[in-house]
């Protein structure tokens, strides 16, 4: 494999006695879009700020394009960044904001004007050149901030929760626009977010972070379908967790409440008598026995929520509650609370959490 474009190696960051990032490692290929996903305080923004140069790592190093940039100042790194709070310069027009980095770099005026026009076209705001930031909406300001960040052709683009301050509709359209611009330019991008839907929808890979560490790094498909840890499984997507006891480790039999399910070859290392947490995504479960589903459990319907096109059903199995969605069918009334119900699933969809 070729050398990674961005390499974060054994990076640690402590503030006094508190360690916020611990032995963080990540390699990012040229042109890749990687998201740091995690709850508040997990260290994702701190890692990003270390890549930007706003924080100095307590240990480890950061390499971009084969060059160690760990001790370089932010203005020497040729990195673009978009901030959550937009951070447009209030005293400058849109065109001056976008041209700021080019002017600092000493680019001739004509070239600056041409590049600013190109950026305004790219972010689809060509008519806004002479406006001031206070005359723009949040979404427009963030697009300008994106144009300003990429105008100097940075080696790396850092996005620090750029969509958090925007309303839901703008958030969706802008994230698609960000991804499309990133693909067009082929710029290596790190995107920090606490929103799993955002991360899953636009990333090539996701680093799920917790407690200052990367819990798992993988494609959205891997992260969602094959979570490596209990935290990742719980944090990404909706998950039903069932507590079970291994009854026969050799044949992969687990008892949930008083019922037995067979998890062929998934109990790696567990012994008979061990307690396990088993997880199932709602979309992997069907109400009633379905063809092609080799496992089932029986319980009692505890809640039914009619949501229009979808009906959300919760089924109690002993002390476990399983949530699943079924499509609304006008010919069939929704199930009633208190009814006995059988849920079926493929044993291969059941995750064993460690």
Beta-strand pair 33-37/188-193: parallel
Nearest to another protein of 137, 348 (CB atom): 137
Nearest to another protein of 73, 169 (CB atom): 73
CB of 105 to another protein, least distance (A): 6
Beta-strand pair 286-287/18-28: unpaired
CB of 79 to another protein, least distance (A): 6
Nearest to another protein of 165, 304 (CB atom): 165
Q: Which of 203, 175, 349, 206 is nearest to 278 (CA)?
A: 349
Nearest to another protein of 149, 254 (CB atom): 149
Query: 24-35 b/e with 16+ CB inside 10 Å = b?
Result: bebbbeeebbbb
User: Contact at 8 Å (CB) between 302 and 314?
Assistant: yes
CB of 137 to another protein, least distance (A): 10
Integer Cα distance of 295 and 270 in angstroms: 20
Nearest to another protein of 148, 171 (CB atom): 148
User: Contact at 8 Å (CB) between 102 and 152?
Assistant: yes
CB of 104 to another protein, least distance (A): 4
CB of 152 to another protein, least distance (A): 7
Specify burial of residue 45 (Cβ count, 10 A radius: 0-12, 13-18, 19+). buried
Q: Note the residues at the interface with another protein (CB under 8 A).
A: 52-54, 73-75, 77-81, 83, 85-91, 100-101, 104-105, 132-136, 141, 145, 148-149, 152
Place of tokens 């301050």: 165
CB of 35 to another protein, least distance (A): 20
Q: Across-strand partners of 167?
A: none
Place of tokens 């990687």: 34
Integer Cα distance of 244 and 93 in angstroms: 62
CB of 138 to another protein, least distance (A): 9
CB of 163 to another protein, least distance (A): 16
User: Contact at 8 Å (CB) between 40 and 194?
Assistant: yes
Q: Which of 155, 88, 76 is nearest to 123 (CA)?
A: 88
CB of 8 to another protein, least distance (A): 18
User: Contact at 8 Å (CB) between 62 and 7?
Assistant: yes
Integer Cα distance of 350 and 352 in angstroms: 7
Nearest to another protein of 135, 298 (CB atom): 135
Nearest to another protein of 80, 237 (CB atom): 80
Q: In a 3-state reduction of DSSP, which class is residue 324?
A: strand
Nearest to another protein of 75, 328 (CB atom): 75
Nearest to another protein of 15, 89 (CB atom): 89
CA 129 from chain centre, in angstroms, equals 33
CB of 324 to another protein, least distance (A): 43
Q: In a 3-state reduction of DSSP, which class is residue 299?
A: strand
Residues in the chain, how many?
A: 354
Nearest to another protein of 77, 205 (CB atom): 77
Helix axes 94-104, 138-150, angle to 10 degrees: 20
């Amino acid at each position: 494999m070729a050398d990674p474009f961005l390499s974060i190696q054994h990076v640690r960051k402590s503030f006094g006695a508190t360690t916020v990032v611990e032995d963080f490692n990540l390699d990012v290929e040229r042109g890749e879009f990687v998201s740091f996903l995690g709850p508040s305080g997990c260290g994702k923004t701190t890692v990003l700020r270390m890549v930007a140069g706003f924080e100095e790592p307590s240990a480890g190093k950061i390499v971009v394009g084969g060059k160690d940039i760990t001790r370089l100042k932010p203005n020497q790194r040729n990195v673009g960044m978009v901030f959550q709070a937009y951070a447009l310069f209030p005293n400058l027009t849109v065109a001056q904001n976008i041209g700021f980095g080019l002017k600092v770099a000493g680019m001739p005026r004509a070239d600056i004007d041409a590049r600013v026009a190109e950026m305004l076209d790219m972010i689809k705001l060509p008519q806004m050149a002479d406006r001031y930031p206070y005359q723009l909406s949040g979404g427009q300001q963030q697009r300008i901030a994106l144009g300003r960040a990429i105008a100097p052709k940075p080696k790396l683009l850092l996005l620090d929760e750029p969509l958090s301050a925007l309303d839901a509709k703008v958030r969706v359209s802008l994230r698609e626009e960000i991804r499309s611009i990133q693909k067009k330019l082929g710029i290596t991008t790190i995107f920090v977010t606490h929103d799993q839907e955002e991360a899953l929808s636009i990333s090539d890979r996701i680093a799920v972070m917790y407690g200052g560490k990367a819990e798992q790094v993988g494609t959205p498909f891997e992260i969602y379908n094959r979570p490596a840890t209990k935290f990742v499984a719980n944090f990404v997507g909706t998950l039903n967790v069932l507590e079970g006891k291994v009854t026969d480790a050799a044949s992969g039999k687990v008892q949930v409440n008083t019922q037995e399910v067979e998890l062929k070859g998934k109990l790696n290392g567990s012994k008979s008598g061990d307690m396990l947490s088993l997880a199932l995504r709602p979309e992997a479960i069907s109400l009633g026995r379905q063809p092609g589903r080799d496992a089932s459990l029986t319980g009692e319907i505890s809640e039914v929520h009619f949501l229009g096109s979808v009906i959300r059903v919760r089924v109690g199995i002993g002390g476990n509650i399983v949530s699943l969605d079924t499509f609304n069918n006008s010919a069939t009334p929704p199930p009633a609370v208190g009814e006995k119900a059988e849920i079926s699933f493929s044993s291969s969809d059941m995750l064993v959490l460690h």
